[in-house]
Amino acid sequence: MLDSIVFYFFAGIAVLSAALMVTRRNAIHSAVFLITTLLSTAGIFLQLRAEFLFIGQIILYVGGIMVLFIFVIMLVRLDVPLPQIRSRARQWVACIVALVVFLEAAFIVWMSQKVPGQGLLVLRAAPAEKLPPNTEDLGKSLFGAYLLPFEIASILLLVAMIGAVVMGKKRTDAP
Amino acid sequence: MMPIGHYLFLSLALLLIGAVGVITRRNVIIVLMSIELILNAVNINLVAFSRYYGDVAGQVFALFIIADAAAEAAVGLGIIIAFFRNRETVLADEMDLLKW
Amino acid sequence: MNAVLQGVLAFVQTWWVELLCAVLIVLVVPLIAGYIVLVELKVMADMQARLGPMRVGPHGLLQPIADAVKLLIKEDLIPDNADQFIFWFAPVLSMTAALTSMGAIAFGPWFQVARDINIGLLFVVGVSALGPFGIVLGGWASNNHYSIIGAIRSTAQLISYETTAGFALVSGFLLAGTLKVSDIVQAQYAGHVWYVFLTPVGFFTYLIASIAETNRAPFDLPEAESELVAGYMTEYSGFRWSLYFLAEYANMIVVGAVGTTLFLGGWLRPFPHVAWLGWVDALPALLLAAVGVYCVMRAGKQPARVQAMFMWVVALLCIVVALIFGLVEVAHASNFAALQASHSFLLLRSMYPGLYGAFWFLLKVSAYIYIFMWLRFTLPRFRFDQLMRLGWHILIPLSLVNVISVGVGLALESSLGWNRWPAMILTSIATLFVGMLLIRWNDKHAAAASASIAADNSQVEDSYAG
C-alpha cells in the first residue's frame, strides 16, 4: 500500500517533469526539470531498496553531471530565447513514432503475462522487510565478480576526462 | 509488492520522452540532456529487475551506466564548448560544416 | 476517515522519537544559526579589539531576534526581468537541502531522525550537495551580471572542492569500515581513538574543502563584496535573503557535524575510557548551572522590563535542564533503589544519553565553526586562479595520496599484523612528505604563472597609457 503510493508519487513527478523538460524553450528550465526527474528516479531507487544507487544518483547525476550542464548553459549564454523555426512535421513524426513504439512495447509486456510459469508480471521479489545491507553487497560484487568491467569503466572515465580537457582547451596557435 | 510491469511502463515512458526530445529539439545541450534521460530510464529497468530477482548485478550495471553518463556528459559538453567558441551557436541544424 | 486517523495515530506512536527529533531540528536550527551570527560578530569584535553588538539585551544577546524581525518586515522585492519561478524557488531549495541533510546526522545515541540507513554519512554529503543548486539558480534567475558571475564562480568552486571533500571522507570511511553514522562513532569508541589522530591529513583536507564548500572566507568568492556587490544574493532582500543566509549557516553546521562524526568522535566525551577523568561527565550540568546563575545576576541590571523577563526565562530553562542533568548524574553514580524504580526517573534515564551526547556533539561542532570564524578574520580572500590552483594542484592530489596511504596502513595492519598506531603514523608521515613535494613543485610553477599574469596586466596598462 505505502509502497505503491510512493511509487505512483515519484513516477508521476518523473514523467510529468520529463515531459516539461523536453518542451521548455529555456535551457535552464529544461535543466531544472531534468533535475526533478532525476531526483524522483532516485526516490524510485529507494523504493526498490537500492539505497546506494539512490545516493549515487544524487551525488553523481544531480550533484555532478547536472552542475556541469548548468555551468555550460551559463557559459554559452543562451538566456535569449532561440529563434523558433521548428518544423511541425518533425514533431508530429516524433510523437507518432514514440506512440507506436509505446504501443508495441506495451503489447509485449501485456503478452508476457500469458506465458505460463515464467510470466513477467507475476515476478515477485524476495521477502525483504528490513533493508538488506545493500552497500556491502554492491561493493563486494563490484570488486569481486565485476572487477574487470570496473577497471574498464575507470579507463573510460580517464579517457573522457582527457578528451574533455583537450576539447575545452583554448587553441592559441589556431589561425 | 507491485508487479514489475509498472516499473517497465515508467521506464518506457521516460525512454520515449527522451527519444522525442532527441528528435525534436534543436538546442544540442537539451539533446544531450534527453540522452541522459534515456540512460536514466534504462537504469530504472536494471534496478527493478535486480530487486525482483534478488541479484545485485543489475545495480552494478546501473552504476556503470551512471559512470558512462558522466563520461558522455563531459565529452559532449567539451565538444559543445569547443563548437560554441568557433561558431557562436549551439543549434543542431546550424552544425553544417560539411555542407559548405 | 476513521481508518486514516487511526493510521496516522499508529504512525505517530511508532515514530514519535523520530518525529520529535525532526521537529526539533526544523525549529532549533534557524535559532542556532541566528546565534552563530551573533557569536561571529562577537568573535570578530574580539579580534578587532572592540565590543560588537551591545544594545539589544545584555551584551547583545537578543540581537539575532531583532535582526530576524527586521528581515521579516522588510519589503520583498522581485526584479522585473527576473525569472519569477526560479527566483522564488532557489532560496527554498538551498534551505531545504541544508535541513534535510541534517536528518541523518546523529546528535546523540538516539538523537537522529533516520537511524537505520546504511548509506549514513553519504546521505548527509549527497543531499547537502544539492544546496549549491539554490545558489546557481538564484544567481541566474536574478538576471544581473554580478549575480551570474557569483553563480558561475560558485559552480566552479563547488566542482573543484567537492572532490577533495569526498576523498577525505573516504579515508575516514576506510578506517571506520562502515558508512552508518552510529557505527562510525562506535568504531571510534571501540578503537580508543578519534580518527583525526589516525589520519590528520584527511581531517585537514576535509576542513579546507568544507570551508570552500560553504563559501566562507577566505574562499567566499561567490559573494565577494568588494568585487561583486553581494554575488548571487545581490538582487535578494528581506525574507528570501534571510533564507540564503540561514542556509549558509545551516550548511556550516552540517559540514561541522560531518567532520565531527567522522574525525572528532561524534557524541563521545573526550577520553571515554580513562577512569580518573570521570568528573568530566558532570561538566554539562555545571556549565548550564553557571549560565543560569549568570543570567540571574544580570537580570536585575537590564534597562527594559522585557529584557529582564527574557533573562529570567533563560535562567529558569538553564537551571531546570542543569537539575535534570545533575539528578540523573547523581542517581547514576549512587544506587538509590527507590529513585531508580520510579517511572519518571526511567524516562529521564532513557533520555539522558541523547541529551548528554548532544551536549558534547554540539560543543565539538562549535569548536569546528569557531575555526571557520578564526580563518575568516585572519586570512585575506584568495584570487580566483589561486583558488583553482590550491584545489586542483595541491588538495586533490594530496587527498588522493592520503586515501592510498590509509589503505596501505590498513593493509599493513591486516596482512602483516602491525599495530594500527605505527602503521598510521608511518603512512601519515609519507603523505605529509608527498604534500611538501607538491607544494614545492607548485610554488615553482605558481611563480611563473603569476609572472605571466602580471605581464598580461602590465600590457593592458600600457595600452591604456598610450
User: What is the tens place of the pLDDT at every residue in C199-222?
Assistant: 888 898 999 999 888 888 788 777
- Categorise residue B27: left if φ over 0, alpha if ψ from -120 to 50, beta otherwise: beta
Cβ(C35)–Cβ(C45) under 8 Å? no
Mean pLDDT of C44-49: 86
CB-based contact A167 B26, cutoff 8 Å: no
Q: What pLDDT sits at residue B43?
A: 92
pLDDT band at B39 (very low <50, low <70, confident <90, very high): very high
Residue C89: count of CB within 10 angstroms of its CB = 17
Mean pLDDT of A166-172: 72
Q: Which of C86, C127, C143 has the CB atom closest to A32's CB atom?
A: C86
From residue A160, give the alpha-carbon distance in Å to each of A149, A154, C44, C194, C223.
16, 10, 46, 39, 32
Q: What pLDDT sits at residue C25?
A: 82
Q: Which three cell numbers stand for residue A112?
A: 508476457
- Rounded CA-CA distance C326/C282 in Å is 7
- Rounded CA-CA distance C452/C449 in Å is 5
Q: Which of A4, A125, A138 has the CB atom closest to B59's CB atom?
A: A138
pLDDT in tens, B56-87: 888 888 989 999 998 998 888 888 888 787 77
- Rounded CA-CA distance C86/C107 in Å is 33
pLDDT band at B42 (very low <50, low <70, confident <90, very high): very high
Q: What pLDDT sits at residue A38?
A: 92
- What are the chain A neighbours of C133 within 8 Å (beta carbons)? 35, 62, 66-67, 70
> Which chains touch B (3+ CB pairs under 8 A)?
A
Question: CA geometry: angle at C396 spanning C212 and C427, to 5°?
Answer: 115
Q: What pLDDT sits at residue A12?
A: 92
- What are the chain C neighbours of A55 within 8 Å (beta carbons)? 119, 122-123, 126
Minimum mean pLDDT range among A123-127, C25-29, C165-169, C178-182: A123-127
Q: What pLDDT sits at residue C212?
A: 87
For B65, list phi and psi in degrees, rounded to 5: -65, -35
- A and B: touch, per 3+ CB pairs < 8 A? yes
Mean pLDDT of C82-108: 84
The closest of C44, C83, C77, C76 to C60, measured between CA atoms, is C44
> Taken in order C217, C218, C221, C226, is the CA torsion positive or negative?
positive
The closest of B40, B73, B46 to B60, measured between CA atoms, is B46
Mean pLDDT of C148-157: 83
- Rounded CA-CA distance C439/C447 in Å is 12
Block residue for cell numbers 531522525: C113
Q: Which amino acid is at C237?
A: S
On the question of pLDDT at C117 being above 80, the answer is: no
**Closest alpha carbon within chain A to C143:** A79
On the question of pLDDT at C335 being above 70, the answer is: no
Mean pLDDT of chain B: 83
Mean pLDDT of chain C: 80
The closest of C127, C125, C104 to C115, measured between CA atoms, is C104
pLDDT in tens, A25-34: 788 888 889 9
For B91, list phi and psi in degrees, rounded to 5: -90, 135
ipTM attached to this prediction: 0.86
More confident call, C175 vs A168? C175
- Rounded CA-CA distance C177/C322 in Å is 37
pLDDT band at A175 (very low <50, low <70, confident <90, very high): very low
User: How many helices and strands in chain C, by DSSP H and E?
Assistant: 18, 0
- Rounded CA-CA distance C138/C235 in Å is 9
For residue B27, the cross-strand partners are: B91
CB-based contact C118 A62, cutoff 8 Å: no
pLDDT in tens, C354-377: 677 788 888 889 889 999 888 888
On the question of pLDDT at C349 being above 70, the answer is: no
- Rounded CA-CA distance C418/C427 in Å is 12
On the question of pLDDT at C451 being above 80, the answer is: no
On the question of pLDDT at A84 being above 60, the answer is: no
pLDDT band at C456 (very low <50, low <70, confident <90, very high): low
Q: What pLDDT sits at residue A75?
A: 79
Question: CA geometry: angle at A99 spanning A39 and A103, to 5°?
Answer: 95
A1-78, what's its fold? Four Helix Bundle (Hemerythrin (Met), subunit A) (1.20.120)
DSSP state of A115: S
- Rounded CA-CA distance B59/B78 in Å is 29
- Rounded CA-CA distance C214/C220 in Å is 8
CB-based contact A63 C136, cutoff 8 Å: no
pLDDT band at A3 (very low <50, low <70, confident <90, very high): confident
Q: Which of B17, B48, B79 has the CB atom closest to A19's CB atom?
A: B17
More confident call, C307 vs A151? A151
* Assigned CATH for B26-89: 1.10.287.3510
CB-based contact A51 C137, cutoff 8 Å: no
Q: What pLDDT sits at residue A17?
A: 92
A61 close to B (CB below 8 A): yes
pLDDT in tens, C221-272: 777 667 777 777 777 877 888 888 888 888 888 899 899 988 888 888 777 7
**Helix then strand then coil, % of chain C, to nearest 5:** 80, 0, 20
pLDDT in tens, C400-412: 889 988 888 888 8
